[in-house]
Amino acid sequence: MNKMSGGMAPEKLVAPSLDMPARNWMRVLAAYRQPILSRSLFELAVTLGPFILLWTLAWWSISISYFLTGLLCVLAGAFLVRLFMIQHDCGHGAFFSQRSVNDWVGRALGVLTLTPYDVWRRSHSIHHSGAGNLDKRGMGDIHTLTVNEYNAASWLGKLHYRLYRHPITLFLIGPIYIFGLQNRLPIGAMKAGSKYWVSTMGTNLVGVALATVLIYFMGLMPFLMIFLSTSFVASAIGMWLFYVQHQFDETHWDQPENWDLHDAALYGSSHYDLPAPLRWMTGNIGVHHVHHLYSRIPFYRLSEVIRDYPVLGEIRRLTLMESFACARLHLWDEQTRRLVTYRQARINSAQNI
């Protein structure tokens, strides 16, 4: 058996095959679900430490070069993405063995990521439980219409959808709205209980308190310059990652009577095969098909799964260069079972007349 961090590689339980039913992978992936405390603490330290250091260096650099400050803010934003991935794992109960530790670390990181932990965990759980189900769109996902729904819409409805799906909206305006406005109220959970109000307002209050301290030492303008730049970079990267993880041509959607949770997880999520430095910075979230199939696997063990079962690495594989074309895909074609462009949708519709 192969060596791996935290012990020996789990015994292979199946003869892997591209044709193996998604459900059958569950018993295999269960062997990777146990977090390794020393590794989790290490990943937290090597992410939070550099983030704080880069903020400090960005503050120091303002008197030297705005270009240098901007570069440091971009790097800090990248580390903020990685902090969100740790918060994400905490939300799945995957980063630590104890739920309470996951929750409190997740809540603390939520102050930095501008994401109220309990509210986000609820919406993200709904996303996992209904991804790929055409009857469960609208919570924790990118809104997607089928070709028939788009064709049946009014011109105003089509215009609204086109504006919503435009890259400027999704990757520039969207991040500002979600992290700057939407996350400041328990949107989607306002009637679900006081817990979500406490989560949101607690995150807001602690964030304001932390900002007040930083402004006292740094000054208002330096703080705003670094905070806004870092937060925007992180949120824009996060939106792009979430987009390409489900919005690609061979993704998987079904009507509820044909929908299967495991098939939707494995085939409706991409394997975003990024270069090694980007895989590290994004916490292996590109191995999204495996994550969706078994969300309790810590992000630092997802690479072990791909190494031990290379066949999984070939499922829904999407390279960095290939991913940019995904920004042009907007509609789910139920006939061809692919995500298509508006032009492809017109051509397919005309051929079906």
Break the chain into its structural domains and give their ranges. Answer: 3-135+167-321
Identify the sign of the CA torsion 205, 207, 213, 218: negative
Kindly give, in sequence order, each residue whose CB lies less than 8 Å from that of residue 179, ignoring residues fewer than 6 positions away.
Answer: 113, 114, 115, 231, 235
DSSP output for 124-178: HHHHHHHTTBTTS-SSSS---EEHHHHHHS-HHHHHHHHHHHSHHIIIIIHHHHH
In this prediction, residue 15 carries a pLDDT of: 54
Phi-psi region of 337 (alpha: psi -120 to 50; beta: other; left: phi over 0): left
Mean pLDDT along residues 131-142 = 86
Please list the residues that pair with 133 across neighbouring strands.
Answer: 254
In this prediction, residue 8 carries a pLDDT of 47
Tokens of 163: 């504006």
For the stretch 33-54, pLDDT in tens is 999 999 999 999 999 999 999 9
- pLDDT exceeds cutoff 80 at 5: no
Mean per-residue pLDDT over the chain, rounded? 92
The contacts of residue 296 (CB under 8 Å, 6+ apart) are 33, 92, 93, 94
User: Strand 3-4 and strand 7-8: pairing?
Assistant: antiparallel
Give yes or no for a contact between 345 and 159, defined as CB atoms under 8 angstroms apart: no
pLDDT score recorded for residue 167: 95
Residue 276 has pLDDT above 70, yes or no: yes
Q: CA 285 to CA 266: how far, in whole Å?
A: 14
Average pLDDT over residues 179-190: 87
Start-to-end C-alpha separation, the chain: 57
Tell me the pTM. 0.91
Amino acid type, 2: N
**pLDDT for res 188:** 77
User: What pLDDT shows up at residue 10?
Assistant: 52
CB atoms within 10 A of CB 283: 24
Tens of pLDDT along 211-264? Answer: 999 999 999 999 999 999 999 999 999 999 999 999 999 999 999 999 999 999
d(CA 188, CA 182): 10
What DSSP element (H or E) covers 57?
helix 37-61
Q: Which residue has the tokens 């270069």?
A: 275
Please tell me the predicted confidence (pLDDT) of residue 7: 46
Q: Per residue in 77-117, pLDDT tens?
A: 999 999 999 999 999 999 999 999 999 999 999 999 999 99
pLDDT of residue 151: 95
Give the pair of three-digit tokens for residue 2: 């192969």
Query: In b/e form, how buried is each residue of 102-130, taking b as 16+ CB within 10 angstroms?
Result: bbebbbbbbbbbbbbbbbbbbbbebbbeb
pLDDT in tens, 304-348: 999 999 999 999 999 999 999 999 999 999 999 999 999 999 988
Per-residue pLDDT for 204 more than 80?
A: yes
Q: What is the pLDDT of residue 17?
A: 65
